[in-house]
Amino acid sequence: MKVLVVYYSLYGHVLQLAESVVAGVKSVAGVDAVWRRVQEFADIEKEIPQHEHALAVWNRQKDIPVCTLDDLREADGIIFGTPTRFGNMSAQMKRLFDSGVKLWLEGALEGKPAGIFTSTATTHGGQETTPFTMMAPLLHLGMIIVGVPYSTTGMLHTEGRGGTPYGASTVAGSSNELQPPPADLAIAQALGRRVAEVAKKLRG
Ligand SMILES: Cc1cc2nc3c(=O)[nH]c(=O)nc-3n(C[C@H](O)[C@H](O)[C@H](O)COP(=O)(O)O)c2cc1C
């Protein structure tokens, strides 16, 4: 069985979380991780070479296949990662959702578990609203939301970093200068493992 990890990342934080989520999925026996990126907008792709950091991130991820509707259809569980944009998912990720009306009509994602991970520049810039607002379309599609329980190592803290019960997360810094600390990556890995375990149980 397959769990899809599909993400968008411009400056690499969500990409790093995605790597940990994939590792978590792979840690569950009998579950394969399918790793996909969301299609970049043509105008942004054109600008990337002018930004040294964005270009380095682009070069790391450009060979990861772009997610198709068949990838979504064929997955037994899906984990979605996006940086926040004004407290919501990125438009690139939203385009994937909006292009999936056929899947909605078919009920193709109904009953499948879904997890969420995100990155925000600031501590209060959307750590909770981003996963929360993403839950609306996931529920419309009939998916079963899988969060991160507080029994997960690293969740019970008051530090300036990520880790929400609504999804894995990290804080990138106002100039994207921070790196996800090990605790955030471990929570991302736990989310991947949890969605894979739930997918396995649901398949029986
Ligand atoms: C249009 C736009 C809107 C953004 N809105 C927010 C925001 O509301 N709150 C916040 O903390 N960061 C905001 N950011 C910063 C990004 O979330 C940050 O660059 C991202 O989390 C880094 O993830 P990445 O390295 O995977 O691209 C915004 C960035 C852009 C370009």
The pTM assigned to this predicted structure is 0.98
Q: Tell me the C-alpha distance between 147 and 129, whole Å.
A: 14
Using alpha carbons, list the distances in angstroms from residue 122 to 24, 33, 82, 128: 26, 30, 15, 12
Domains and CATH numbers, the chain: 2-203 (3.40.50.360)
The rounded Å distance from CA 109 to ligand 1 centre is 28
Q: Using pLDDT thresholds of 50, 70 and 90, give the confidence band for residue 92.
A: very high
Mean pLDDT of 38-50: 97
pLDDT(143) > 90: yes
The rounded Å distance from CA 105 to ligand 1 centre is 32
Q: What is the CA radius of gyration of the chain?
A: 16
Mean confidence (pLDDT) of the chain: 98
Mutate to test the pocket of ligand 1, among 53, 84, 94, 161 (most ligand atoms within 8 A of CB): 84
Report the pLDDT value the prediction gives residue 122, as an integer from 0 to 100: 98
